[in-house]
C-alpha cells in the first residue's frame, strides 16, 4: 500500500473543503467563476493568508488525532476532542443542530457520550452529512473492512444518531477503503459498495429510520443504483444530478453525489479544462453542483486522493490550504498504523 494514497486522501479532503467552502450554499455556481478562482490561486500570497478550512476538516483533524493517539478507538477521547475543538474555534461553519451536542458534552451532565446525539431532533437523531464529512481517518487507520464499518459507525454516532447520518459515514469510509486499493473498475468499485451497504441497511434500525422518513427501505443502495445508471448513461446534466442524487446537507443527498463525482471525473467532463487532472476535475465538478460544496468536495476529494495519490494535488492548491503540513504528516503516520494492522 502506497503512502502517496494516504497523504492523498487527507490532502484531497483538505483542498476539497478549503476550495469548496468559498462557494458553499450558493444555488448555482458558474464554471467561469470557479475556474477564475482556481487560476487566481497562483497569485494568492498563501504565506499571508491561506484558504481556511471549515467544520469538515476541523472534525476530521480531531478524529485523525484521536485514532493516532488513542488506538484502536476511544469514543470518550473523540467526543472530548470534538467538543474542545468546537469551543476553541466555533466559527468554522458548523451545522446548526450539532452545536447542541457539543454544549451538552461540555456541560458535564452526560456520562454516556452517545446520549446527546440521541436527543437531537426530538429523539430522531441527525441525518446531516457531518459524520461522513469527517470520517476519512477511519479507512486510513483500519485495513479490515469490518473495522472500517464498525468505527465509521461509532465515530458517527457521537453526533449523528439517525442511521441515515451514520450510514452515510459508513458508505464514505468504504469508498475511501476501496479507492485505496487502486485500479478497480467502476463496476467492481460500485459492486463492493452495494454489497456492503445491502448488509448495513438490512439492520432493524436502518429499516425503521428510513421508513420513518418516508424514504423507503435501503435508501443508500437505491442511490448507488442511480449512480450506476447515471454513469452508464454518460453525460448526465448538473440538474439531473442535483434532482436525483442531491447536493444538500443531508448525508443521503450528498455522499452518493460525492461517489458519483469521483467516478464520473475519472474521464474528462464538459466545463472543466482537459489539462486539469482527475482529482482537480473531481473537486471542481463538485463545486459546480452548488449547494453543500465544501462537504461534497471534501468527501469526493478524499476518495479521489486515496485513489490517485498526492501527486495529483497541485502544489499551489496544497499551499493555499490551511494546515496542509499536518495532512502530510498524519497521512504518513496513518499509513504506518494501517500497515501495522495488516494480517501477517
SS (H, E, C) 18-33: HHHHCCCCCCCCCHHH
Which one of 9, 55, 258, 330 is in contact with Mg ion (CB under 5 A)?
55
Residue with cell 476511544: 74
Q: Residue 317 corresponds to which cell in the numbers above? A: 492548491
Taking CB under 5 A as the rule, does residue 54 contact Mg ion?
A: yes
End-to-end CA distance of the chain: 14
User: Whole-angstrom Cα distance, residue 57 to residue 54?
Assistant: 6
The yes or no reply on residue 294 touching ligand F2R (CB under 6 A) is yes
**The C-alpha cell that represents 335 in the structure block:** 499509513
Secondary structure letter of residue 42 according to DSSP: G
Return the residues of window 6-35 that contact ligand F2R according to CB under 6 A: 24-25
| Cell numbers given for 172 | 464514505
State how far Cα 75 lies from the chain centre.
19
**Site for ligand F2R contains 155 (CB under 6 A):** no
Torsion of CA 113, 115, 116, 117, to 10 degrees: 100
Q: How far is the CB of 80 from ligand F2R (least distance, A)?
A: 17
The binding site comprises: 54-56, 292, 294-295
What's the min distance (Å) between Cβ of 343 and ligand F2R?
34
Closest separation in Å from C-beta 113 to Mg ion? 23
**Site stretch for Mg ion (CB under 5 A), options 55-63, 65-73, 110-118, 181-189:** 55-63
Q: Chain-centre distance of CA 339, in angstroms?
A: 22
Is 91 a binding residue for Mg ion by CB under 5 A? The answer is yes
Neighbours of 54 (CB within 10 A): 22
249 is an interface residue for ligand F2R by CB under 6 A: yes
- Taking the CA atoms of residue 137, residue 78, residue 70 and residue 84 in that order, the dihedral angle to the nearest 10 degrees is 110
Residue positions forming the annotated binding site for Mg(2+): 54-56, 292, 294-295
**Lookup: cell for 83:** 467538543
Can you state the angle between helices 163-180 and 186-200, rounded to 10 degrees? Answer: 150
Are the C-beta atoms of residues 178 and 192 closer than 8 Å to each other?
yes
Contact 191, 228 (CB under 8 A): no
Find the shortest distance in angstroms from Cβ 57 to Mg ion.
Answer: 8
Which of the listed partners (ligand F2R, Mg ion, none) does 95 bind, with a CB threshold of 5 to 8 Å by partner kind? ligand F2R
Residues touching ligand F2R: how many (CB under 6 A)? Answer: 24
Residue 127 interacts with ligand F2R (CB under 6 A)? Answer: yes
Segment interacting with ligand F2R (CB under 6 A) among 139-147, 177-185, 194-202, 288-296? 288-296
If binding is defined by CB under 6 A, does position 247 make contact with ligand F2R? no
Residue 36 binds ligand F2R (CB under 6 A): no
143 is a contact residue toward ligand F2R (CB under 6 A):
no
> Which residues, 160 to 219, sit near ligand F2R by CB under 6 A?
162
Q: Does 301 bind ligand F2R (CB under 6 A)?
A: no
Give the three cell numbers for residue 98: 450539532
**C-alpha cell, 130:** 457531518
Minimum distance, C-beta of residue 145 to ligand F2R, in the bound complex (Å): 25
- Quick check: 254 binds Mg ion (CB under 5 A)? no
Q: Which residues are paired to 51 by β-bridges? A: 321
Question: Pattern 280-319, binding to Mg ion, x per CB under 5 A?
Answer: ------------x-xx------------------------
For 242, phi then psi, to 5°, come to: -65, -45
Question: Site residues (CB under 5 A) for Mg ion?
Answer: 54-56, 91, 93, 292, 294-295
Binding residues vs ligand F2R (CB under 6 A): 24-25, 54-56, 93, 95-98, 121, 124, 126-130, 133, 162, 249-250, 292, 294-295
Amino acid at each position: 500500500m502506497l503512502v502517496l494514497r494516504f497523504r492523498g486522501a487527507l490532502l484531497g479532503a483538505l483542498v476539497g473543503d478549503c476550495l469548496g467552502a468559498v462557494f458553499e450554499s450558493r444555488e448555482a455556481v458558474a464554471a467561469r467563476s470557479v475556474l477564475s478562482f482556481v487560476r487566481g490561486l497562483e497569485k494568492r500570497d498563501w504565506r499571508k493568508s491561506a484558504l481556511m478550512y471549515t467544520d469538515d476538516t476541523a472534525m476530521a483533524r480531531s478524529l485523525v488525532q484521536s485514532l493516532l493517539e488513542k488506538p484502536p478507538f476511544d469514543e470518550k477521547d473523540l467526543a472530548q476532542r470534538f467538543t474542545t475543538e468546537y469551543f476553541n474555534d466555533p466559527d468554522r461553519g458548523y451545522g446548526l443542530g450539532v452545536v447542541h451536542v457539543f454544549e451538552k458534552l461540555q456541560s458535564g451532565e452526560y456520562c454516556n457520550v452517545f446520549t446527546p446525539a440521541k436527543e437531537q431532533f426530538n429523539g430522531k437523531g441527525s441525518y446531516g452529512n457531518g459524520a461522513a464529512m469527517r470520517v476519512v481517518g477511519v479507512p486510513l487507520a483500519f485495513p479490515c473492512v469490518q473495522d472500517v464499518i464498525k468505527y465509521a459507525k461509532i465515530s458517527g454516532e457521537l453526533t449523528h444518531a439517525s442511521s441515515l447520518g451514520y450510514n452515510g459515514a459508513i458508505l464514505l469510509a468504504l469508498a475511501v477503503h476501496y479507492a485505496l486499493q487502486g485500479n478497480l473498475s467502476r463496476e467492481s468499485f460500485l459492486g463492493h459498495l452495494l454489497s456492503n451497504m445491502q448488509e448495513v441497511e438490512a439492520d432493524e434500525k436502518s429499516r425503521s429510520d428510513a421508513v420513518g422518513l418516508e424514504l423507503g427501505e435501503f435508501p443508500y443502495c437505491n442511490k448507488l443504483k442511480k449512480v450506476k445508471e447515471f454513469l452508464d448513461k454518460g453525460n448526465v446534466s448538473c440538474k439531473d444530478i442535483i434532482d436525483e442524487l442531491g447536493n444538500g446537507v443531508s448525508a443521503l443527498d450528498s455522499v452518493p453525489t460525492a461517489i458519483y463525482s469521483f467516478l464520473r471525473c475519472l474521464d474528462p467532463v464538459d466545463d472543466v479544462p482537459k489539462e486539469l487532472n482527475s482529482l482537480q476535475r473531481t473537486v471542481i465538478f463538485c463545486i459546480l453542483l452548488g449547494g453543500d460544496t465544501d462537504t461534497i468536495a471534501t468527501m469526493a476529494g478524499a476518495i479521489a486522493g486515496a485513489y490517485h495519490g498526492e501527486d495529483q494535488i497541485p502544489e499551489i492548491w496544497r499551499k493555499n490550504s490551511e494546515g496542509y503540513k499536518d495532512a502530510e504528516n498524519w497521512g504518513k503516520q496513518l499509513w504506518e498504523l494501517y500497515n501495522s494492522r495488516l494480517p501477517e
